[in-house]
Amino acid sequence: MGCGSSSDCGGCPSQSSGCGGGAPQQPQDLTAPLHELSSVKHVIGVVSGKGGVGKSSVTSLMAITMARKGYKVGILDADITGPSIPKMFGIKEKAYADEIGMYPVKSKGGIDVMSVNLLLENDTDPVLWRGPILGNVVKQFYTDVIWKDIDYLFVDMPPGTGDVAITVYQSLKLDGIIIVTSPQDLVSMIVEKAVKMADLMQVPIIGVVENYSYFHCPDNGKDYQIFGESHIEEILQKYGLLLLNRLPIDPTIANLCDQGDIESIEKTNLENVSLPE
């Protein structure tokens, strides 16, 4: 006996902590179930340690890339207070729900999208909810939405390591994450936070996309490092991470996002990225 007090562990306050008198308890599984009518093969989180690195655009480009390869793709917009996916895809239709569940809205290219902006009366209405409510909404987008025959569900995460990120890591059955960064040393430092969080939550890291890596001047054909020299190699070597690609600063992408026509982009520059099969 571990405590030496009694052979009967029933009612002992130390029982839940796995004392020597009983078998140690397994960590609680907090994974949320999908809707009974949903079918999702792979869930991929797209994360960043801070805002402003183009995470939503990388999420969109990854979704477009996989859709063009013939896969059925969905995007769960988990950035509840700053949703931008519907705007980038030009989706104006509102999502709806019935007694069975909620239904995502299809983009022009056939990508299923669920975002809080598809539920608000006006796109510019602010979402004034505290952390636990935000986390519950994201979980509902996973459990209550009917995701039909999805090969890859991309989760556009909010920046940082707050309530929503914790909910996604704990509640969604993630196959892995893609970390988005930009060249500055400050951002590279924050990438380490995302790496360490993934390690703590035991979620595989598929690789890193360095966005805004350079600007290719169409006039002289030269590349310019607008944000300075990249420091990503140090992080990649330190943690044994794969660099998926370096994406340039591209005014064309910005214009297409503003026009709600991101799906008309000719090349995503992510065509060679390999995801779990």
201-212 pLDDT, tens per residue? 999 999 999 999
Q: pLDDT tens-digit profile of 213-258?
A: 999 998 998 999 988 888 788 889 989 999 999 999 999 999 999 9
Binding residues: 49-56
Range of the domain at 56: 40-264
Q: Are 131 and 163 in contact (CB under 8 A)?
A: yes
Binding-site positions for ATP read 49-56
Distance in angstroms (rounded) separating the CA atoms of residues 231 and 187: 9
Q: Which of the two residues, 209 and 135, has the higher pLDDT score? A: 209
| pLDDT above 50: residue 140 | yes
**Average pLDDT score over residue span 155-184:** 90
Sign of the CA dihedral 82, 86, 92, 95? negative
Domain-embedded: residue 230:
yes
Q: Is residue 6 part of a domain?
A: no
Q: Are 157 and 51 in contact (CB under 8 A)?
A: no
Backbone angles phi and psi of 118, in degrees to 5: -85, 0
Band of the pLDDT at 55, cuts 50, 70, 90?
A: very high
Say if 112 falls within a structural domain.
yes
Q: Is there a contact between 43 and 204 (Cβ–Cβ < 8 Å)?
A: no
pLDDT exceeds 50 at position 262: yes
By C-alpha distance, which of 46, 49, 45, 53 is closest to 190? 49
For 221, residues 6+ apart whose C-beta sits below 8 A from its C-beta are none
The radius of gyration of the chain's CA atoms, rounded to the nearest angstrom, is 21
Q: Please say if the pLDDT value at position 9 is more than 60.
A: no
Q: How far is CA 209 from the centre of its chain?
A: 13
In a domain, 65, yes or no: yes
Backbone phi and psi for residue 208, each to the nearest 5 degrees, phi listed first: -120, 135
Is 25 among the domain residues?
no
pTM: 0.87
By the 8 A CB rule, do 212 and 53 touch? yes
> In sequence order, what are the residues at sequence separation of 6 or more whose Cβ sits closer than 8 angstroms to the Cβ of residue 199?
none
Rounded Cα–Cα distance for residues 153 and 158 (Å): 16
Is residue 203 a contact partner of residue 165, using CB atoms and an 8 Å limit? no
Within 13 Å and on the Cβ side, how many CA atoms surround 13? Answer: 0
User: What pLDDT does residue 48 have?
Assistant: 87
Question: Do 207 and 178 meet the contact criterion of CB atoms below 8 Å apart?
Answer: yes
Question: CATH number, domain at 85?
Answer: 3.40.50.300
Please state which of the ranges 17-31, 140-154, 190-204 shows the lowest mean pLDDT.
17-31
Residue 46 lies in a domain: yes
**15 is a domain residue:** no
Average pLDDT over residues 111-127: 89
Could you give the CA distance from residue 1 to residue 8 in angstroms, rounded to a whole number? Answer: 10
Question: Looking at residues 128-145, what average pLDDT do you find?
Answer: 89
49 has a pLDDT exceeding 80? no
Most confident of 69-73, 192-196, 248-252: 69-73
- Any domain includes 27: no
Between 13 and 153, whose confidence is greater? 153
When divided into structural domains, the chain yields a total of 1
